[in-house]
Amino acid sequence: MTRKILAASVALLGLGLIAGVQWRLSAREAAAEAAHPPSGQFVTTGAGRVHLHVAGSGPDLVLIHGANGNLREFTFALVDRLSDRYRVIAVDRPGLGYSDPLPGQDATVAGQAAALRQAVAQMGVENPIVLGQSYGGTVALGWALQQPPAALVLVSAPSLPWPGELDPWYRITASALGRATLVPLASAFVTEGYVRRAIDGVFAPQTPPAGYADHLGLDLTLRRGSMSVNAMQINALRPQVEAMQEQYAGLTLPVELVHGDSDSIVPLHIHSQPLAQILPNGALTVLPGVGHMPHHTHPDAVIAAIDRAAARAGLR
C-alpha cells in the first residue's frame, strides 16, 4: 500500500510540474505577443500567412532576417534609413516572427524562399533587390537559384559548407524527441539576462546598440514554435548549402557581399571570401575588426552596398 501511495504521489507531482510548465509557457507567450504585436500586414500564400512590413517608395528592396529573429531586426533603424529612396519590404521568415511555419515542418531554404517570393509578389514586387543577413543570406541565395531578382546583397551570410559540429543545443534539438523535451523547458525558464548575453556574443567584438534587444522582442524569440522551427532550420542548413554551392557559378546577377573579418559566427574565410571568387558578378566588401552584425554596427557600409547593387542592376 505504501508503494502505491508513493507512486501515486510521484505521478501527481509530475502532473503538477507539467501543468506548471504549461501555464508558464502560455502566460509568457501571451505576454510576448501583447508586448510586441505584429507591426506590419499579412499576405496568404499556398504555404500559409507571411507577415511583412512595407515602408517608402522607389525600387523594391526585400530584407530577410537571420536565425532566431524576425523583421524587427530591420525596423529597429535600417528601414527608416532606406525608405526615402526604396520601397522596403521586411519579412518574417516562415515559422519565425508572425509568419506561419511551412507545411509538414518543411525547414528547407528552398521552401522559405518560395514562400517569401509568393508573398512579396502579392505586393506587386517583380524585380527586387534582395538583402539577406546571416541565415537570411542563404535564403536570398535560394531565392536567386529559383528566380534571380535584380540583385543580391549578402550580409554576413553562410553560403558554403563549414567544418565541425553545431553547438550542443542544436545537436540535441536535431531530433523530434529532443525538441519536444528541451524546447518547452527552455521556452519556459530561459531568462532574459541569458538571452541578452547571447546577443552580446553575436555582436562581438562590437556591442548591440541601445534599445536593440527590447525592440527585437526577446520574448518573441523564446516562444516554443519559434524555437522549434529555428532549431529545425539550423540543423537542416549544412546539407542544403553543400547542394546549393554547385549552382553558384550560374548566378550572373550583381551580388554585393558585406562581411566583417572578426565574424566568429559565420567566418569570412569560409563563406563570403571564397563565394566572391565563385560568383561571376560578386563584389566583396570586407570590414576590418567587425563582427556578425554590421547592419547595426556599421550601417553605412551596408547601405552603400545596397546602393551599389541598385546601380549595378540599373535600378538607380
- 184-214 pLDDT tens trace: 998 888 888 888 999 999 999 999 999 999 9
- The percent of residues in the chain predicted with pLDDT above 90, rounded, is 78
On whether residue 238 sits in a domain, the answer given is yes
Rounded distance, CA 71 to CA 295, Å? Answer: 13
**Is position 27 within any domain?**
no
Q: What type of residue sits at position 246?
A: E
- In a domain, residue 144? The reply is yes
Q: pLDDT at residue 158 above 50?
A: yes
Which pTM does this prediction carry? Answer: 0.92
Q: Taking 90 as the threshold, does the pLDDT of residue 296 lie above it?
A: yes
Q: How many domains does the chain have?
A: 1
pLDDT of res. 10: 42
Pairwise CA distance, residues 312 & 306, whole Å = 10
The answer as to whether 76 is a domain residue is yes
Q: What residue numbers bound the domain in which 210 lies?
A: 41-312
pLDDT for residue 8: 46
3-state secondary structure the chain: CHHHHHHHHHHHHHHHHHHHHHHHHHHHHHHHHHHCCCCCEEEEECCEEEEEEEECCCCEEEEECCCCCCCHHHHCCHHHHHCCCCEEEEECCCCCCCCCCCHHHCCCHHHHHHHHHHHHHCCCCCCCEEEEECHHHHHHHHHHHHCCCCEEEEECCCCCCCCCCCCHHHHHCCCHHHHHHHHHHHHHHCCHHHHHHHHHHHHCCCCCCCCHHHHHCHHHHCCHHHHHHHHHHHHCHHHHHHHHHHHHHHCCCCEEEEEECCCCCCCCCCCHHHHHHHCCCEEEEEECCCCCCHHHHCHHHHHHHHHHHHHHCCCC
Report if residue 9 sits inside a domain. no
Within a domain: 150: yes
pLDDT at 15 (0 to 100): 44
pLDDT tens digits, one per residue of 27-46: 888 888 999 999 999 999 99
Q: Which of 88-92, 184-188, 253-257 has the lowest mean pLDDT?
A: 184-188
Q: Is the pLDDT of residue 12 over 50?
A: no
Residue at 15 is within a domain: no
Confidence of residue 132 (pLDDT cuts 50, 70, 90): very high
Contact 98, 221 (CB under 8 A): no
Q: Please compute the mean of the pLDDT values over residues 291-301 and round it to a whole number.
A: 98
Residue 293 sits in a domain of what CATH number?
3.40.50.1820
**Whole-number average pLDDT of the chain:** 92
